[in-house]
């Protein structure tokens, strides 16, 4: 029997996404070379996909006894498809534009 009960949310995946986003933010702001930047972009994409897949899995397991929320599942599947198909350049550009809305909290560190 495990010491800790299983989680019913995606805390670890959210932390991984925040960390990958922060690393990508630092690399973009420093103007890193493309090989390192591509690796960080791929880590950021994988973190997004991991979080979305966990949320999708949780939405299935939490709604086993009641009717599955099809709209939420469709939205999650659409986001997964988006993150699978987006190019590295688009991720970098979106990350640059989201700087002011998402990463102001990192300026205090």
DSSP secondary-structure letter at 33?
-
Q: How far apart are CA 73 and CA 56, in angstroms?
A: 6
**Packed helices 88-97 and 11-30: angle between N→C axes, nearest 10 degrees:** 90
Q: How far apart are CA 40 and CA 46, in angstroms?
A: 10
Give the global pTM.
0.78
Which pLDDT score, from 0 to 100, does residue 12 have?
Answer: 87
Which pLDDT score, from 0 to 100, does residue 10 have?
Answer: 80
Which pLDDT score, from 0 to 100, does residue 109 have?
Answer: 46
């Amino acid at each position: 029997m495990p010491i800790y009960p299983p989680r019913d949310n995606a805390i670890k995946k959210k932390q991984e996404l925040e960390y990958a986003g922060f690393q990508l933010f630092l690399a973009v702001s420093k103007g890193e070379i493309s090989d390192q930047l591509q690796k960080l972009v791929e880590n950021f994409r994988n973190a997004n996909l991991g979080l979305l897949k966990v949320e999708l899995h949780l939405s299935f397991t939490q709604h086993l006894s009641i009717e599955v929320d099809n709209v939420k599942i469709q939205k999650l599947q659409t986001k997964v498809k988006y993150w699978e198909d987006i190019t590295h350049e688009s991720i970098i550009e979106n990350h640059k534009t989201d700087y002011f809305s998402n990463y102001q909290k990192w300026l205090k560190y």
